């Protein structure tokens, strides 16, 4: 390794310290004095390389700077500057405080499935954005994926990226047949030196996904050639066979992402992200039987948009042929005033002979700054454009007239069917009205009615029977006991509902704490207290009803025995008295877990702690000082009772304030970061509790590892 140059300043950047060293250069932490921001400066020492290598690495630096400068995305590391100074070439990038995904994998750290879906979703969004800008990364691997201190994904190192703009010169592109990438994460087409596109990056992302889920790489061999043979000729075992916590639904996603044939893979990175979300929600993959149309944002359709997507997917098979023209007109209406050339290209792709195809091509060319073929004369171009507009207007009028005629025909057919239905309904009513006059059942029915009336009169006028009255009274009491049991069940259900509402209130309070809105925090804190009081009151009511139901069950047994004795004395076979089941053990109310992580499962957020689930809410501890509870938790933790200590620390964090709440949050954050018996290690949750500690005035060093 070349000797590290002792740099104090390079360009306009002051050097603070060394972040890392590699075989070809050094990465420094620096300061941009002009813009007053921290930056990362990646350098190479050209004198340590031969002339060809120095030239190659300089070209890589230039390529990375030019490629990433086009990409402004929250999940892609930004490049600010590129230059050469003397013997050093350097590139200035956004300073990311975090860890490479590779360090997590090397340490054999496992991620929850929810975290995997979140991280892979952000990686897929970064890839999709780069691909849409005609940039293929070509070296997607864990070492090039950063997880910053707030849990966000940052895609790095576009040094071997390939820019696929059709208007770029051959000198800007990698030579055909060149093999670039890291063997364990390369696609089959990369290994074979064949042309590649965005689907090669999707294969590499699939390898990372497999490593997330299974805890091991899918293709392992001796040396680069051994790995290459595995990638080209073998299928890895499904992740669910290596990790029982993984659903088989994820196996299908991995298999498609790692398909040997690029045509069988996901065609965009965003599709891979959506497939992961569906698998996490327990939904199977969508089979594309028919060609899929991608409609732009704002397209009015009966088909709902996907989660947060700018597009709506809809198959042509689901659209009746006669409505294709209406779909085209609605599509054009939704994009005609837009400024995205991709929308107009999509219109031409979906409707190559459409009404506005010529105009869409012209608009796309203008937005891209490409001169049209007939741009030699401005007047001629304007005249042609007017003619195209007039022709499109004429064709649109014809299409709308045809649609109106079709609509009228459909309405006429519908009216005809409605009239036929009303006619049949009237005929049916007429037959029903005529039926009773000729029915021979009337005398029979009259006789039955008379007999029923006679029996009723006899029952009403016969002398009272004391034994029967006692049996009726006991039966009524048994019914009341049964009613008490039903009220107990309802009370338990209401208690569970209140606990769920309490959980939601705590989640909202945590989100408000994260946003820093003090007014909203106070309002939600008051709502949380009200719901806690309601939940405790309902729990007390449930306990009362459980006691009452137990007494009623004991009395019910005596009443059933008395009913049986009275019926035996009267010489009748005892009737089965309604049985009141003894009160069942109170089911545990719905678990009130730690507040669910927001859409960003590892992003920084405050946590609202929750009580340990029991048959009722946690007993009132308002009379116990928070300092006392904190000291009790410290003693429990020292004695090895970490689960009980964690519960008290969460309670002090939620109900306390100031120093006590801050110390409790910090201690529980330490538990989550390191892991303890009864407390699962969770890096994202630890960050949340550390933030609560800071908000309560307790200093917490920035966490550098999980």
Confidence of residue 367 (pLDDT cuts 50, 70, 90): confident
CA pseudo-torsion sign 109, 113, 114, 118: positive
**CB distance 654 to 609 below 8 Å:** yes
- State the Cα torsion 439-442-443-446 to the nearest 10°: 170
Lowest mean pLDDT among 342-356, 604-618, 675-689: 604-618
Q: What is the pLDDT of residue 180?
A: 57
Q: Once rounded to an integer, what is the mean pLDDT over residues 506-518?
A: 81
Q: What is the pLDDT of residue 596?
A: 41
Q: What is the pLDDT of residue 123?
A: 96
Q: Which of 167-176, 325-334, 477-486 has the highest mean pLDDT?
A: 477-486
Q: Once rounded to an integer, what is the mean pLDDT over residues 369-394?
A: 68
Q: How far apart are the C-alpha atoms of 81 and 66, rounded to whole Å?
A: 10
Q: Once rounded to an integer, what is the mean pLDDT over residues 28-38?
A: 89
Residues in the chain: 706
Q: Once rounded to an integer, what is the mean pLDDT over residues 308-322?
A: 32
Q: How far apart are the C-alpha atoms of 159 and 173, rounded to whole Å?
A: 12
Q: What is the pLDDT of residue 48?
A: 67
Q: Which of 187-191, 462-466, 570-574 has the highest mean pLDDT?
A: 187-191
Could you report the per-residue pLDDT of 212-263, keeping only the tens digit for each?
Answer: 999 999 999 888 878 988 999 899 999 999 998 899 999 999 999 999 999 9
For 305-330, give one letter per residue: b (16+ CB within 10 A) or e: eeeeeeebbbeeeebeeeeebbbbbe
Q: How far apart are the C-alpha atoms of 319 and 338, rounded to whole Å?
A: 25
Q: What is the pLDDT of residue 200?
A: 95
Which helix or strand (DSSP H or E) is residue 428 part of?
Answer: helix 378-438
DSSP of 358-416, one letter per residue?
HHHHHHHHHHHTPPPTTTT-HHHHHHHHHHHHHHHHHHHHHHHHHHHHHHHHHHHHHHH
Q: What is the pLDDT of residue 597?
A: 41
**CB distance 58 to 89 below 8 Å:** yes
pLDDT at 292 over 60: no
pLDDT at 175 over 50: no
Query: Average pLDDT, whole number, for the chain?
Result: 75
Q: How far apart are the C-alpha atoms of 142 and 70, rounded to whole Å?
A: 23
Confidence of residue 125 (pLDDT cuts 50, 70, 90): very high
Q: Looking at the structure, give the CATH architecture of the domain made up of residues 9-95.
A: 2-Layer Sandwich (3.30)
Q: Is 414 or 426 the better-scoring residue by pLDDT?
A: 426
Cα 280 to Cα 65, 112, 243, distances in angstroms: 37, 11, 15
pLDDT at 171 over 50: no
| Residue from 240, 204, 59 nearest 131 by CA | 204
Q: How far apart are the C-alpha atoms of 141 and 126, rounded to whole Å?
A: 14
Q: What is the pLDDT of residue 212?
A: 95
Q: What is the pLDDT of residue 105?
A: 93
Lowest mean pLDDT among 180-184, 216-220, 674-678: 180-184
The pTM assigned to this predicted structure is 0.42
Lowest mean pLDDT among 231-245, 345-359, 428-442: 428-442
Percentage of the chain exceeding pLDDT 90:
18
| Residue-range domain boundaries for the chain | 9-95, 99-280, 292-300+311-405, 466-569, 626-695
Q: What is the DSSP letter of 677?
A: T
Q: Once rounded to an integer, what is the mean pLDDT over residues 299-313?
A: 34
Q: What is the DSSP letter of 561?
A: H
Q: What is the pLDDT of residue 326?
A: 66
> Burial level of 461, CB count in 10 A (0-12/13-18/19+)?
exposed
SS3 697: coil
pLDDT at 419 over 70: yes
**CB distance 622 to 647 below 8 Å:** no
Q: Is 503 or 585 the better-scoring residue by pLDDT?
A: 503
Number of other residues whose CB lies within 10 A of the CB of residue 184: 20
For 17-35, give one letter per residue: b (16+ CB within 10 A) or e: eeeeeeebbbbbbbbbeee
DSSP of 312-361, one letter per residue?
EEEEGGGS-GGGHHHHHHHHHHHHTT---HHHHHHHHHH-TT-TTHHHHH
pLDDT at 670 over 50: yes
pLDDT at 398 over 90: no
- Cα 208 to the center of its chain, rounded Å: 19
Q: Residue 161 contacts by C-beta under 8 Å, 6 or more apart in sequence? A: 63, 64, 67, 130, 135, 136, 137, 138, 139
DSSP of 17-55, one letter per residue?
EEEEE-SS-EEEEEEETTTTEEEEEEEEEGGGS-HHHHH
pLDDT at 462 over 70: no
pLDDT at 371 over 60: no
Cα 626 to Cα 614, 622, 640, 652, distances in angstroms: 22, 9, 21, 6
Could you report the per-residue pLDDT of 581-622, keeping only the tens digit for each?
Answer: 444 444 444 444 444 444 343 333 333 343 434 333 343 444
Q: What is the pLDDT of residue 22?
A: 67
> Burial level of 600, CB count in 10 A (0-12/13-18/19+)?
middle
Q: Which of 160-174, 229-243, 275-289, 576-590 has the highest mean pLDDT?
A: 229-243
Number of other residues whose CB lies within 10 A of the CB of residue 278: 17
Kindly give the residue spans of alpha helices, DSSP state H, lying in 69-161.
Answer: 101-106, 113-132
Confidence of residue 680 (pLDDT cuts 50, 70, 90): confident
Tokens, residue 15: 């050097």
- Residues identified as active-site: 139
Percentage of the chain exceeding pLDDT 70:
72
Lowest mean pLDDT among 74-78, 95-99, 281-285: 281-285
Q: How far apart are the C-alpha atoms of 640 and 628, rounded to whole Å?
A: 19
Q: How far apart are the C-alpha atoms of 600 and 595, rounded to whole Å?
A: 13
pLDDT at 654 over 80: yes
Q: Looking at the structure, give the CATH architecture of the domain made up of residues 99-280.
A: Orthogonal Bundle (1.10)
Lowest mean pLDDT among 298-307, 412-421, 493-502: 298-307
């Amino acid at each position: 390794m070349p000797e590290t140059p002792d740099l104090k300043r390079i360009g306009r950047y002051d050097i603070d310290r060394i972040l890392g060293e590699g075989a070809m250069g050094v990465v420094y932490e620096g300061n941009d004095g002009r813009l007053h921001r921290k930056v990362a400066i990646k350098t190479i020492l050209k004198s340590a390389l031969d002339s060809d290598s120095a030239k190659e690495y300089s070209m890589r630096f230039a390529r990375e700077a030019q490629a990433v400068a086009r990409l402004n995305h929250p999940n892609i590391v930004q490049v600010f500057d590129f230059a050469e100074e003397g013997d050093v070439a350097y590139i200035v990038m956004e300073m990311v405080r975090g860890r490479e995904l590779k360090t997590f994998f090397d340490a054999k750290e496992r991620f929850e499935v929810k975290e995997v879906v979140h991280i892979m979703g952000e990686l897929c969004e970064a890839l999709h954005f780069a691909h849409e800008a005609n940039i293929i990364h070509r070296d997607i691997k864990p070492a090039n994926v950063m997880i910053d201190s707030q849990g966000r994904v940052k895609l790095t190192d576009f040094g071997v990226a390939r820019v696929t703009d059709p208007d770029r010169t051959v000198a800007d592109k990698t030579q055909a047949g060149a093999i670039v990438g890291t063997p364990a994460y390369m696609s089959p087409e990369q290994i074979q030196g064949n042309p590649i596109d965005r689907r090669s990056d999707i294969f590499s992302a699939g390898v990372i996904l497999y490593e997330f889920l299974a805890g091991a790489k899918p293709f392992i061999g001796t040396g680069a050639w051994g790995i290459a043979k595995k990638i080209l000729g073998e299928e890895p075992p499904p992740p669910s066979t290596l990790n029982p916590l993984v659903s088989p639904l994820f196996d299908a996603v991995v298999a498609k992402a790692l398909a040997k044939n690029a045509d069988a893979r996901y065609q965009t990175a965003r599709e891979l992200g959506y497939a992961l979300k569906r698998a996490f929600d327990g939904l199977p993959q969508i089979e594309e039987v028919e060609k899929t149309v991608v409609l732009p944002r704002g397209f009015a359709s009966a088909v709902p948009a996907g989660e947060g997507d700018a597009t709506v997917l809809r198959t042509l098979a689901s659209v009746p042929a006669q409505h294709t023209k209406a779909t085209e007109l609605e599509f054009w209406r939704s994009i005609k005033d837009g400024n995205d050339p991709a929308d107009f290209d999509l219109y031409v792709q979906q409707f190559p002979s459409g009404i506005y195809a010529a105009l869409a091509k012209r608009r796309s060319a203008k937005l891209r700054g490409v001169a049209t073929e007939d741009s030699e004369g401005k007047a001629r171009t304007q005249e042609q454009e007017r003619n195209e507009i007039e022709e499109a207007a004429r064709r649109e009028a014809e299409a709308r007239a045809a649609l109106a005629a079709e609509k009228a025909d459909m309405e006429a057919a519908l009216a005809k069917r409605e009239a036929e239905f009303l006619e049949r309904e009237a005929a049916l009513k007429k037959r029903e009205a005529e039926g009773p006059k000729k029915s021979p059942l009337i005398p029979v029915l009259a006789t039955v009615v008379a007999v029923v009336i006679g029996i009723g009169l006899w029952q009403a006028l016969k002398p009272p029977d004391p034994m029967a009255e006692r049996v009726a009274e006991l039966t009524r009491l048994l019914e009341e006991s049964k009613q008490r049991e039903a009220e107990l069940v309802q009370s338990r259900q209401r208690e569970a509902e209140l606990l769920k509402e309490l959980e939601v209130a705590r989640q909202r309070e945590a989100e408000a704490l994260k946003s820093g809105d003090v007014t909203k925090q106070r309002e939600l804190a008051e709502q949380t207290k009200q719901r806690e009081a309601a939940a405790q009151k309902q729990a007390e009511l449930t306990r009362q009803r459980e006691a009452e139901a137990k007494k009623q069950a004991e009395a019910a047994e005596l009443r059933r025995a008395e009913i049986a004795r009275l019926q035996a004395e009267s010489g009748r076979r005892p009737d089965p008295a309604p049985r009141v089941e003894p009160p069942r053990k109170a089911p545990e109310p719905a678990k009130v877990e730690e507040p669910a992580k927001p859409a960003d499962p590892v992003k920084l957020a405050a946590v609202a702690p929750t009580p340990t689930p029991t048959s009722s809410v946690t007993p009132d501890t308002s009379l116990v000082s928070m300092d006392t509870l904190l000291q009790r938790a410290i003693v429990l933790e020292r004695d090895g009772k970490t689960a009980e200590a964690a519960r008290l620390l969460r309670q002090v964090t939620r109900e306390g304030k100031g120093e006590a709440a801050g110390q409790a949050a910090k201690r529980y954050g330490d538990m989550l970061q390191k892991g303890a018996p009864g407390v699962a290690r969770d890096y994202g949750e630890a960050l949340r509790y550390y933030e609560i500690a800071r908000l309560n005035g307790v200093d917490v060093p920035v966490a550098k590892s999980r």
